[in-house]
Amino acid sequence: MNEAKDFTRASKQDLYQHHDYYLMDELLTDEHKLIRATVRDFVKKEIAPIIEDAAQKALFPHYLIKGMAEVGSFGAQLPAAYGCGGLDYISYGLIMQELERCDSGIRSTASVQGSLVMYPIYKFGSEEQKHKYLPKLAAGELMGCFGLTEPDHGSNPAGMTTHYKDAGDGKHVILNGAKMWISNSPFADIAVVWAKDEAGEIKGLIAERGMAGFTTPETHNKWSLRASATGELVFNDVLVPKENIFPGVSGLKGPLTCLNSARYGISWGVIGAALDCYDTALRYSKERHQFGKPIAGFQLQQKKLAEMITEITKAQLLTWRLGVLMNEGRATPAQISMAKRNNVDMAATIARNARQMLGGMGITGEYSIMRHMMNLESVLTYEGTHDIHLLITGMDVTGENAFA
Ligand code: TGC
Ligand code: FAD
């Protein structure tokens, strides 16, 4: 019998509640599903009950770090040899999806730790650096941040002015400059910092909290990613041991290679936020009656819901395929840009429409939608803005560089 025609009404309901419209679960292994279920359970039990309060108070819930580490949120895609997850890129994506189903700020903390701190140490670091930092970062015993953006250099990091010079003692360099908009900076134990050497080459190095002249002032008054701590990195004649410089990379491709991994994770993460908004709007529309019937019965609301699940399904397919290419080492940076841009825009549009479907209730903290909507404004901007990713696709298909 054709299985696709064999849906009872009950199994269809289950399927729709899971919002797996194209039976994407059949493309996942049992291990993928177990990882997703583990993170989903943890998020439901530990994060969902407190996230609204944390966001309203603009506090990052530090006590979650240990549990997040235990369910594999940090460095899932990196080799087990260094205490990391040893999982594939689809597992990593599913973890990001389940975290961001709850809150983009929580996913941000995990993205930064796994893709922007652990990944560069793994990819470009010395064996000593890998053994010293990776196991502790995976366990959440150390937390890190990633400093690329500067006050005058956001989309154009090549222009950075943060720099270091030889201290003359044979052991240290002296680091000066400032980074801005840095996720996790206010509490991070270490910072992966991108700075120019005396020849003007971009290099990566690890600065540690406590080094004299290194401070991390927090950025306040954000209307977005309120449950994630954001701040600056300020370096005032900081003596950094030479052994903290990454030996394995020079140039802008260093930080941009890390961004590939993080942007990939975001393309999965935002599907989680979109699913949560869709699920909330769908349930609400069935329960909320106006003009004598559920608002789900009105064509205008059905149009919104039908478009949401269509866009989510397209994003799921795009992202799953990208995951396969990542696993095979064949994904190009431009393919990753396309997925980041498309999926974040998809989630932001769904959040705005879902918000409208809840009427006045949509602006309250009783529901997660407005929080997702505000969070996604940051996600549209960080890791390369919506415009920058369009220009990367434009350059890829035309061969013409609009940045030059
Ligand atoms: P361009 O001349 O094109 O390239 C310089 C060198 O880099 C190589 N490259 C890449 N390598 C790996 N992956 C990529 N995605 C790469 N893109 C370029 C390139 O081949 C070249 O290598 P080589 O060997 O020839 O030197 O560089 P450009 O200066 O013209 O800039 C290009 C542009 C605009 C695309 C790039 O600067 C860019 O992506 N800008 C956006 C900046 C950005 O995304 N910042 C993110 C900061 S981190 C962050 O937001 C974290 S938020 C985390 C959270 O909370 O979740
Ligand atoms: P700008 O680069 O000044 O851009 C302003 C506008 O101009 C944008 O709309 C942009 O698309 C447009 N624009 C720029 N150049 C072009 C062009 N060539 N053509 C057309 N339009 C253009 N950075 C880190 O290094 N580490 C972090 O952990 C981190 N976390 C962040 C957390 C949050 C909450 C936020 C908001 C940002 C974070 N960032 C981080 C910084 C983020 O990556 C930058 O904000 C982003 O890259 C854009 O830089 P900008 O804000 O300076 O905007």
Ligand 2 pocket, mutate which of 233, 381, 395, 401 (most atoms under 8 A from CB): 381
pLDDT per position as a tens digit, 4-17: 444 444 444 444 45
Angle at 196 between CA 228 and CA 123, to 5 degrees: 65
**Complete domains list, the chain, with CATH:** 13-138 (1.10.540.10), 144-244 (2.40.110.10), 253-398 (1.20.140.10)
Structure tokens of 266?
A: 């975001």
Q: What's the pTM value of the predicted model, to 2 decimals? A: 0.96
**Which pLDDT does position 339 carry in this prediction?**
98
Please report the sign of the dihedral spanned by the C-alpha atoms of residue 81, residue 82, residue 83, residue 88: negative
Nearest to 219 by CA among 191, 193, 179, 181: 181
Q: Whose CA is nearest to atom 7 of ligand 1?
A: 253
Nearest to 371 by CA among 270, 223, 265, 248: 223
List CB contacts of 309: < 8 A, sequence separation 6 or more. 19, 21, 278
Counting as low any pLDDT under 50, the low residues of the chain are: 1-16
CA distance 110 to 123: 18
Helix (H, G, I), strand (E, B) or coil at 263: helix
Query: Distance from the CA of 252 to the center of ligand 1, in angstroms?
Result: 6
CA dihedral 14→15→18→22, nearest 10 degrees, is 180
CA dihedral 365→368→369→372, nearest 10 degrees, is 110
**Which pLDDT does position 92 carry in this prediction?**
98
Per the annotation, the verdict on 287 as an active-site residue is no
Query: Distance from the CA of 258 to the center of ligand 2, in angstroms?
Result: 16
List CB contacts of 207: < 8 A, sequence separation 6 or more. 175, 190, 191, 193, 214, 233, 235, 238, 240, 244
Query: Distance from the CA of 13 to the center of ligand 2, in angstroms?
Result: 42
Ligand 1 pocket, mutate which of 256, 326, 381 (most atoms under 8 A from CB): 256
Nearest to 174 by CA among 185, 183, 164, 182: 164
CA distance 238 to 268: 37
**Which pLDDT does position 2 carry in this prediction?**
44
Query: Distance from the CA of 95 to the center of ligand 2, in angstroms?
Result: 25
| Cα–Cα separations (whole angstroms), residue 395 to 149, 318, 342, 388 | 23, 20, 16, 10
**Which pLDDT does position 18 carry in this prediction?**
74
**Which pLDDT does position 52 carry in this prediction?**
97
| Cα–Cα separations (whole angstroms), residue 336 to 42, 199, 269, 319, 330 | 28, 31, 13, 9, 11
Q: Are 39 and 94 spatial neighbours (Cβ–Cβ below 8 Å)?
A: yes
Pocket of ligand 1 (CB under 6 A): 108, 111-112, 146, 148-149, 155, 157-158, 183, 251-253, 256-257, 259-260, 262, 333, 382-384, 388, 392, 403
Ligand 2 pocket, mutate which of 263, 385, 391 (most atoms under 8 A from CB): 385
**Which pLDDT does position 17 carry in this prediction?**
59
Helix axes 48-57 and 369-381, enclosed angle (nearest 10):
70
List CB contacts of 220: < 8 A, sequence separation 6 or more. 58
